[in-house]
A and B are shown apart, each in its own frame.
Chain A
Amino acid sequence: MTVFVPEARHASLNAMLLEHYKRPHNRRDLPLPSHLGEGNNPLCGDQVQVALVISNGDVCDVAFKGRGCSVCIASASLMTDCVRAMSVQDARALCARFRGWTEGEETIWTLPPVLEPLELVRAHPVRRRCVTLAWEALADALR
């Protein structure tokens, strides 16, 4: 599903995405992860690895590494901000809903505010895979 994003909002969301690309949050090694996951897109060679520390059913810490385009890295950065301190159950549900949302299936679900810059991807469906790669890695880690 392609959605129209007004120009001014487009520019502001784009600026936020670029900020997350240039200075991504939680792009680091996690010394003692309890869970690891990976997402690969062989068509463009992008890869994201997600590391989690899960304790008592909660995501206590989250980090990512990998290579990708600006959208891929920004999405990974935003994802780590979003799932930190979430319960594993909620994080799994978020992964599923987010995936549905990028595919245009979740029409009534609204993005958590922290993920708003990712709205842009719905105006550029060709970059859907760029935005979902980190989420695939997260889902893999939560499996």
Chain B
Amino acid sequence: MNAPDKLYPDLRLDGIRACFPCFASAEWEGVRYLDNAATTQKPAQVIEAVRRSMAVGTAPIHRGLYPLAEQATFDYERARSTLASFIDARCAKEIVFCASATDAIGRVATGWAARIGAGDEICVTRMEHHSNLLPWQRLCRERRARLRFIEITSDGRLDLASARSCIGARTRLVALCHVSNVLGTLNPVPEVVAIAHQHGAHVLVDAAQSIAHLPVDVQQLGCDFLMFSGHKMYGPSGIGVLWGRRALLEAMEPALLGGGIVTSVGEHSAQWRDAPHRFEAGSPNLAGAAGLEAAARMLSAFAPGALYRHLGQLTEYLLDRLRRLAGVTLYGPTEPTERVGIASFQLAGIHPHDVAAACGDLRVCVRAGNHCCQLLHERLGEPGSVRASLGIYSTRDDVDALVSALDYARGQMQ
């Protein structure tokens, strides 16, 4: 996927902003969008892929016996193959299209539940988003299993010593984020996988926050399940990917039952199709898959690691500017190499809501609250924080605008 892409023949990082209509629109002229950990803007190529799918690519896939349906099926399955290459899956059959990373985690929790029993253990980390916590809480409650927490260090890194003491013979699953949506911490997934596999446990990686910034390679990570959302990687919302090792997917029950997932149906039972089809009941999101494919092709058009380096440099600049501001308390690792694209912080004496609202007055878009990480914020000792998060189109000017907006917030509120 690293050869020049005909969708993106002249793509350069320094010109990427021009691909995103939001920034050229009259409505949002001058907007400084720093809420990319929540969702990202969409480039023209993704918008066009969605439009094209709706305009000339609509037909019932896998079933229609006419050319329009065959073309739609071809396009959908090509999108699956593109996504497989994008994360280095062994084959396209390991890619399940679903609605989002949240949906994908729920499907594993539901479809995989049969193997969890009383006394078994699931390990999550203290920094998980609620979407990678609540399904395991419920599963453990229902199965009388035990939920354990891998702790974080005082500077917001995953505590590997805690991982070693949590993960043991009873562990069936370790569920962790690749990158924290609050701290920006890049977790040592291969190390955690090594510990888990040593004890025969499987590892699920929530890659929602890393997929747009890092080369995510499931072989290199060594995990067993991985998921991400389209809308956080410049693709459409309502589409995401669940990747699982083929043998695991084949052993997993579908969570959603409906058309297209069976080989035969009797009065009281049915035979499931092979993965991924057994997990895609109902008519799929064709336009979403087309848009997600266009987004993956955009990200693949850059040299390997180029995005990570670009984001890394900008993250360093962001952290540096914030550190120099009086009254800012930053969370997360101090080493820029241990974090990606996200800075959460407090501005002394001003409630995060007020900081974000004041920034909004100047069209600087940041997030305030607990970012769906209540347990992590309890650990940080504050109920909420302000979060600035970078994207492919972010610039030093955006960071400078944030710093000015924080000065303005202080002026307004104090």
Q: Which A residues are closer than 8 A to B by beta carbons?
A: 18, 21, 42-46, 68-72, 124, 127, 130
Contact between A45 and B383, CB atoms less than 8 A apart: yes
Task: Scan B353-391; emit 1 where CB is below 8 A from any A CB, else 0.
Answer: 110010000000000111000100100001110000000
> In the assembled complex, which residues on chain B have CB atoms less than 8 Å from the CB atom of A71?
353
> In the assembled complex, which residues on chain B have CB atoms less than 8 Å from the CB atom of A130?
353
30 CB-based A-B contacts, threshold 8 Å: A18-B412, A18-B413, A21-B413, A42-B374, A42-B383, A43-B369, A43-B370, A43-B374, A43-B384, A44-B351, A44-B352, A44-B368, A44-B369, A44-B383, A44-B384, A45-B377, A45-B383, A46-B383, A68-B351, A69-B351, A69-B352, A69-B353, A69-B354, A70-B351, A70-B354, A70-B413, A71-B353, A127-B353, A127-B357, A130-B353
- Residues of B in contact (CB 8 Å), total 15
> In the assembled complex, which residues on chain B have CB atoms less than 8 Å from the CB atom of A42?
374, 383
**Which chain A residue shows the least CB distance to B369?**
A44
A69 to B412, CA, bound (A): 13
A124 to B357, CA, bound (A): 10
> In the assembled complex, which residues on chain B have CB atoms less than 8 Å from the CB atom of A72?
351
A44 to B354, CA, bound (A): 12
**Which chain A residue shows the least CB distance to B351?**
A69
User: What is the minimal beta-carbon distance from B94 to any residue of chain A, in angstroms?
Assistant: 36
A42 to B373, CA, bound (A): 11
Give the A-B contact count at a CB cut-off of 8 A: 39
A80 to B7, CA, bound (A): 61
> In the assembled complex, which residues on chain B have CB atoms less than 8 Å from the CB atom of A70?
351, 353-354, 413
User: What is the minimal beta-carbon distance from A20 to any residue of chain B, in angstroms?
Assistant: 13
A88 to B368, CA, bound (A): 36
> In the assembled complex, which residues on chain A have CB atoms less than 8 Å from the CB atom of B353?
44, 69-71, 127, 130
A21 to B357, CA, bound (A): 15
Contact between A45 and B382, CB atoms less than 8 A apart: yes
> In the assembled complex, which residues on chain A have CB atoms less than 8 Å from the CB atom of B369?
43-44
Task: Scan B329-354; emit 1 where CB is below 8 A from any A CB, else 0.
Answer: 00000000000000000000001111
User: What is the minimal beta-carbon distance from A77 to any residue of chain B, in angstroms?
Assistant: 15
**Which chain B residue shows the least CB distance to A47?**
B383
Contact between B370 and A44, CB atoms less than 8 A apart: yes
Q: Which 9 A-B pairs have the closest CB atoms?
A: A45-B383, A69-B351, A69-B353, A44-B384, A70-B354, A69-B354, A44-B369, A44-B383, A45-B384
User: What is the minimal beta-carbon distance from B251 to any residue of chain A, in angstroms?
Assistant: 38
**Which chain A residue shows the least CB distance to B355?**
A69
User: What is the minimal beta-carbon distance from B370 to any residue of chain A, in angstroms?
Assistant: 6
Give me 19 other A-B pairs in contact (C-beta within 8 A), A42-B374, A72-B351, A127-B353 excluded.
A18-B412, A18-B413, A21-B413, A43-B374, A43-B384, A44-B352, A44-B353, A44-B369, A44-B370, A45-B370, A45-B377, A45-B383, A46-B351, A69-B352, A69-B353, A69-B354, A70-B413, A124-B357, A127-B357
A21 to B351, CA, bound (A): 12
A69 to B331, CA, bound (A): 21
